[in-house]
Amino acid sequence: MKSRLVFLTKTFPFASGEEFIENELPTVAANFDKVILIATSVPDGAAKTRTVPDNVEVHAIRASEVNKALLRPTAGYFFRFPAEYGSEADRLAVRRSPEKRLFRAYFLAKGLTVARKASAILSKTDLAQAVGVTFYSYWFYDTALAAIALKRTCTARRCRVYSRAHRYDLYPENSPAKYLPLRPFLLKNLDGVFPCSEDGSSYLKSTYPEWTAKISTAYLGTSDHGSGPEQEEPVFRLASCCHISPVKRVELLAQALAALGNTGLQLEWVHFGGGDGLEALREYAAANLGFMKVTFAGEVSNQELMRYYRENRVDLFVNTSASEGLPVSIMEACSFGIPVAATDVGGTREIVHDGQNGFLLSPEGKPEELAEVVARFCRMEQAERVSMRTASRKIWEDNFNASANYERFAEKIYPR
């Protein structure tokens, strides 16, 4: 059977971002004869920076091309909002909100514009020769709409369309308008939606019970790079890894550490990731964390990050986010047997089992609470630390091993 996977991403494998796909793609690609990957929002000048398997054919739609198309007079069609895409719930949601109506029109225009450009790309491939085709959107967003539109033109004997769902594309409270467009339409027309956490699946099923049968959790996963160093060190080393943005609240960790300045604890903190808030964080650390070693490593490749965890003992990984799906950064830390302190948001409790491999913090993110947890970890008996490290690795092995998770996912989306 000639099977094809049409995989819609935002920017992967160009520039940076969507790093999680690096772990998924090799396994999923191995289950299809060929993958046609279309990055749908690539910045001008961005080069292909990640390698892909030999059977993956990569194409790019530049963001500037899509934006130009949205400015054309014909784009006004979407502001009249064709009835096909509406639902009574959606109409009620936007009835008194010009902001939501504008967002809905933009969402529809962008999704169908991406579909039109992707269709032109696919017409120059061998997709027409396929017997089975799966259209797969990595995000439950405009690319999911594009994937649905592409399926409608599919001439293969078996055509399927699926989408993952993560955080910003799943929970409306994370949207600036507190609204996500076309949810009923997307759920009706997709063959399956795969939230990355049980929390996400529960949210969708409770909000749209008529589509429960189409919704199932598909955990992401990370590769096995072995456990980190076991030997104890005099210094207690903390690590964090994220883009420094308001939702990540990395400043809470800095404030918690500052509160420990007079405790005599030997602390070290390394943060991986850049962002607009990096300079302000550097300034805060310089003014308040002079009693300890602080390293801002900036943007690093996933290979560099894995090498650091493998070669340096990390005693505690910290995540202070106000909102999450199910953090891949925590999966990576757990794979090395690193205990975790994290805010109890999204699906985080599905990987951080309170009291077993770490501690859950209140969603509000209180520096004093985190400071207490760090101090508690520092003063733990060695046997308890070892137990938490063992539990972290075991939770990862049982639930977040990339090879097992992505093999199961590939089977689910194969066009049978």
Is residue 324, in this structure, part of any structural domain at all? yes
Q: How many domains does the chain have?
A: 2
Phi, psi of 397 (to 5 degrees): -60, -40
- Degrees, nearest 5: CA angle 115-120-121: 95
Q: What is the 3-state secondary structure (H, E, C) of 352-363?
A: CCECCCEEEECC
For residues 383 and 407, state if they share a domain.
no
For residues 83 and 184, state if they share a domain.
yes
For residues 299 and 170, state if they share a domain.
no
Is residue 365, in this structure, part of any structural domain at all? yes
Confidence (pLDDT) at 84: 72
Confidence (pLDDT) at 69: 80
Sequential pLDDT tens for the chain (416 residues): 599 999 999 999 998 889 889 999 999 999 999 999 999 999 999 999 899 999 999 999 999 999 888 777 555 555 566 667 777 777 777 778 888 888 888 898 899 999 999 999 999 999 999 999 999 999 999 999 999 999 999 999 999 999 999 999 999 988 878 899 999 999 999 999 999 999 999 999 999 999 999 999 999 999 999 988 888 889 999 999 999 999 999 999 999 999 999 999 999 999 999 999 999 999 999 999 999 999 999 999 888 999 999 999 999 999 999 999 899 999 999 999 999 999 999 999 999 999 999 999 999 989 999 999 999 999 999 999 999 999 999 999 999 999 999 999 999 999 98
Return the H-helix or E-strand segment holding 183: helix 183-189
Phi, psi of 80 (to 5 degrees): -85, -10
For residues 73 and 214, state if they share a domain.
yes
Is residue 342, in this structure, part of any structural domain at all? yes
Is residue 294, in this structure, part of any structural domain at all? yes
Residue type, 172: P
- Would you say 171 and 321 are in contact if contact means Cβ atoms under 8 Å apart? no
For residues 375 and 409, state if they share a domain.
no
Confidence (pLDDT) at 106: 87
- 239 closest CA partner among 326, 322, 325, 332: 332
Is residue 281, in this structure, part of any structural domain at all? yes
CATH of the domain at 146: 3.40.50.2000
For residues 395 and 406, state if they share a domain.
no
For residues 196 and 65, state if they share a domain.
yes
CA dihedral 217, 223, 225, 228 (to 10 degrees): -20
For residues 67 and 94, state if they share a domain.
yes
For residues 82 and 183, state if they share a domain.
yes
Is residue 261, in this structure, part of any structural domain at all? yes
Confidence (pLDDT) at 233: 84
pTM of the model: 0.90
Tell me the residue range of the domain where 184 lies: 3-221+402-413
The count of residues in the chain is 416
For residues 194 and 290, state if they share a domain.
no
- Would you say 71 and 109 are in contact if contact means Cβ atoms under 8 Å apart? no
Confidence (pLDDT) at 228: 85
Confidence (pLDDT) at 241: 97
Is residue 228, in this structure, part of any structural domain at all? no
- Would you say 230 and 260 are in contact if contact means Cβ atoms under 8 Å apart? no
For residues 190 and 312, state if they share a domain.
no
Number of helices and strands in the chain (H, E) = 14, 12
Is residue 229, in this structure, part of any structural domain at all? no
Phi, psi of 272 (to 5 degrees): -110, 125
For residues 216 and 252, state if they share a domain.
no
